[in-house]
Structure 1
Amino acid sequence: MKKLIILFCMMGSLPVVSNAQGLGQAVADAIGSVTISNEQVAQYSKQAVQQMDAKNPVAGANDPYTQRLNRIVGPFRTIDGIPINYKVYAVKDVNAFATADGSVRVFKGLMDLMSDDEVLAVIGHEIGHVINQDSRDAMKSALRRSAVRNALGAGPGAIGRLSRSQLGDVFDGFLGAKFSRDQESQADDYSYDFLKRNGKNVIALATSFEKLAKLSGGSQGGKVAELMSSHPDSKARSERIYERARRDGLAR
């Protein structure tokens, strides 16, 4: 019943259409018509991450995982002009994410699996999505879809104030977004360049892929397989990094 109510709300704010194809196009047009500034995306991202922090076990300042992460990212509190805030989720999932406001969250399970260099390589990849504006665009898309579900927020071309539950839905949509393979490859390139210019081990990026590939068939395979589903083949990614490193004289 709830789905029907939402559908009727959407129809009330969209042009009248005569068939399902027209309705789908009207919905797409409505989504695209909602104007969201980069500043709004950053603000909503910050609010959503704060809500995520409240819902997840965040490792404290004296926790060994936090202390380890602080050692890993010590010199990298600002990257390409973006202030980065780091936290560890004391969750066994193998995952990490970064949002448009500069929030980076690393899961305990990933830190258990990776060396320090590999953790930094994964963080570099996630920050690459922020620098390349992939995270911003994914959040914009999630916000636009939320606006349509809620009768376009405050009106055409505007996003109204979102409730906590709505903000949670938006962030779930963001986390569920799949970047294109080109976007993933470009984020890999950013991580490689980030590691190289800071004198870090670029091969750690390749070995992080190899570990994820091995784990994808193990007990946590479902979550890791989902995490990697939109990525280029892990073996190909690893070989691509090795090839770049060989050209740069950083590997044999």
Structure 2
Amino acid sequence: MGHQSRCWGVPTQGLPGGDWNWKRKTRMRTPLALATLLGAGLLLSGCQTGPMNANLLNTGLEMFNAATMTDEQMAQTSLAGIRSMDASNRIAPAQSKYARRLAKLTKAYDSVNGRPLNFKVYISQDINAFAVPDGSIRIMSALMDHMSDDELLFVIGHEIGHVYHGHARKRFQTAYAMSGLVKLASSSGGLNVNASQAGALVSEVVKAQFSQENEREADDYGYDVAVRAGASKTAPAAALRKLAALSQSHSNAIAQMLATHPDPASRAARMDERALKG
């Protein structure tokens, strides 16, 4: 992180994983990945004629343009998007029980991979939480109502894990490529997204499903965060079991979270195994 951080209650080591270079991990492989992507597109287009040829090539170019967004462009766009979402949701006031509780749990966590973190509570009956690439993390009040502090620490750590591992970044790239905004950026010679477009883009990022591998990595990160902060080793599994139970009793309220963070029951069993290993 470039400085001695008090993140995650570890005075000298910062967040789990140490001083990890997010930009290096997510960008070192870019040339090879892009070459492979474009090569595949060209090979496929070579087997077609007419409109299909052009469509395949255009798709490849759009993915190329999305993949070559700079970290700063992505951070600025996701920041504009989360501001748009904040404006359209009811945010818990600073002196509310929700905001004070979240501030207490997150006061030691200021950044990840050099990117500032910021936390807010949406007053909502939805049981959900999400993170976007700029480091913004939003927790729904209904989720907080069902979680103990130890369990909520796991949820917070899980969401930060998605930022740490670059999962939120990859979802943003995919949503951007599929949104049509990449065409506007190409035609205008740069990334020029207004607040409404940025808000819609971040909304799509929030709704996109994580892979099982993504969830395992974020769960492990969340486990480390919770335990290092003094939470019980059983808290991560307990949090996931609550989500599994809520899927039965509050199916509508938790539908979005289960769509993006699937299979909490099997993930709980995995966290049990982790706790037994110490």
TM superposition score category, shorter chain reference: 0.7 to 0.9
Pick aligned residue for 1:238 from 265, 268, 276: 268
Q: Is the 8 A contact 1:124 1:191 kept in 2?
A: yes
Q: Trace 1:1-252 onto structure 2 (pairs within 5 A).
A: 18=49, 22=53, 24-34=55-65, 35-79=68-112, 81-146=114-179, 149-150=180-181, 152-155=183-186, 159-218=190-249, 220-229=250-259, 231=261, 233-248=263-278
Is the CA contact (8 Å cut-off) linking 1:89 and 1:108 kept in structure 2? Answer: yes
Cα separation, partners in 2 of 1:53 and 1:128, compared to 1, 3 Å: same
Unaligned stretches of 5+ residues in structure 2? 1-44
TM-score (norm 2): 0.75
Contact 2:84–2:196 under 8 Å retained in 1: no
CA distance in 2, matches of 1:129, 1:157: 31
- Residues 154 and 235, structure 2, Cα contact 8 Å, conserved in 1: yes
Q: Which amino acid aligns with 2:95?
A: N
- Measured after TM superposition, the shift of residue 58 of structure 1 is 0.7
Change (3 A) 1:163 1:241: same
Measured against aligned partners, the alpha-carbon deviations of 1:91-143 in whole angstroms (never above 9, x if no partner) come to 11101111111111111110111111111110110100000000011112222
Structure 1, unmatched stretches of 5+, are 1-14
Runs of at least 4 residues off by over 6 Å: none
State the distance in 1 between where 2:107 and 2:202 align. 28
- Matches of 1:96 and 1:230 in 2, distance apart? 10
Contact 2:129 2:140 in 1 (8 A): yes
The answer (yes or no) to whether the contact 1:33–1:156 under 8 Å persists in 2 is: no
Shift of 1:88: 0.7
Q: Is the 8 A contact 1:36 1:158 kept in 2?
A: no
Tell me, yes or no, if the aligned pair for 2:150 and 2:226 is still in contact at 8 Å. Answer: no
Aligned-CA RMSD value: 2.3
Aligned residues: 230
Deviation at 1:33, TM superposition (A): 2.0
Which protein is richer in helix relative to its size? 2
Q: Secondary structure at the match of 1:155?
A: helix
CA contact (8 A) 2:123 2:140 kept: yes
Deviation of 1:173 (Å): 1.6
